[in-house]
Structure 1
């Protein structure tokens, strides 16, 4: 798997676990809508998280979910979510720094172009 794919997968795992920790009673459809992914894509992700032992599906009779289950982060899943949060934050800060550098360079370029146009007027 490419580094980019792995990063995207880690981001998705983190986002899923973050939402589930706050609202474990969501249906797969609701969760998919919040994440902006397909239900089948979310199902694939949930199966992977369950296989890793980070999330478990638990029967819960008071669930608003018509199937009566909730998704619970396991203790190992909570620890992994914290680790993924750190990686996610670092990646987003790196993206921010790169974007800021690009914006600064564009502002310089635009400033030079405006100065040149003013000289030629």
Structure 2
């Protein structure tokens, strides 16, 4: 595993690949906005993903604005996105169950207090 890959949060890695698969023409600024992270963070992440071969960047050949890039997932990136999706879902299910347990506990306490107060 490369140093660049180790330093990318797996949820951010997944979300970047997911967004770029859906909208490869997104700018770094738009990605930063959608992800809720800094523009510098997106730039670092994209460079790392290009370095490890999960995405490739290219200019729109007919666009007069040559600074506009198209970010495409590579076959390796598509495969990694599938792996990251499984991990993402597993982490979110663990979070969901923990949150549900906490909510149930709080609701139970509220019901006991209401019962004691005659509400």
TM-score, normalising length from structure 1?
A: 0.84
Q: For residues 65 and 33 of structure 1, do their structure 2 counterparts lie closer, same or farther at Cα, with a shift above 3 Å needed?
A: farther
Matched, 1:100 2:103: no
Q: Name structure 1 gaps, 5 residues minimum.
A: 1-5
String of CA shifts for 1:52-108, please: whole Å, max 9, x gaps: 110111232245865142111110000000100010011111111111111111111
* Native 8 Å contact 1:26 1:65 kept in 2: no
Residue 53 of structure 1 aligns with which residue? Answer: 53
* Native 8 Å contact 1:27 1:65 kept in 2: no
TM-score, normalising length from structure 2?
A: 0.86
Q: Name structure 2 gaps, 5 residues minimum.
A: 1-5
RMSD of aligned alpha carbons:
2.0
- The list of structure 1 runs, each at least 4 consecutive aligned residues, that deviate by more than 3 angstroms after superposition, is 62-66
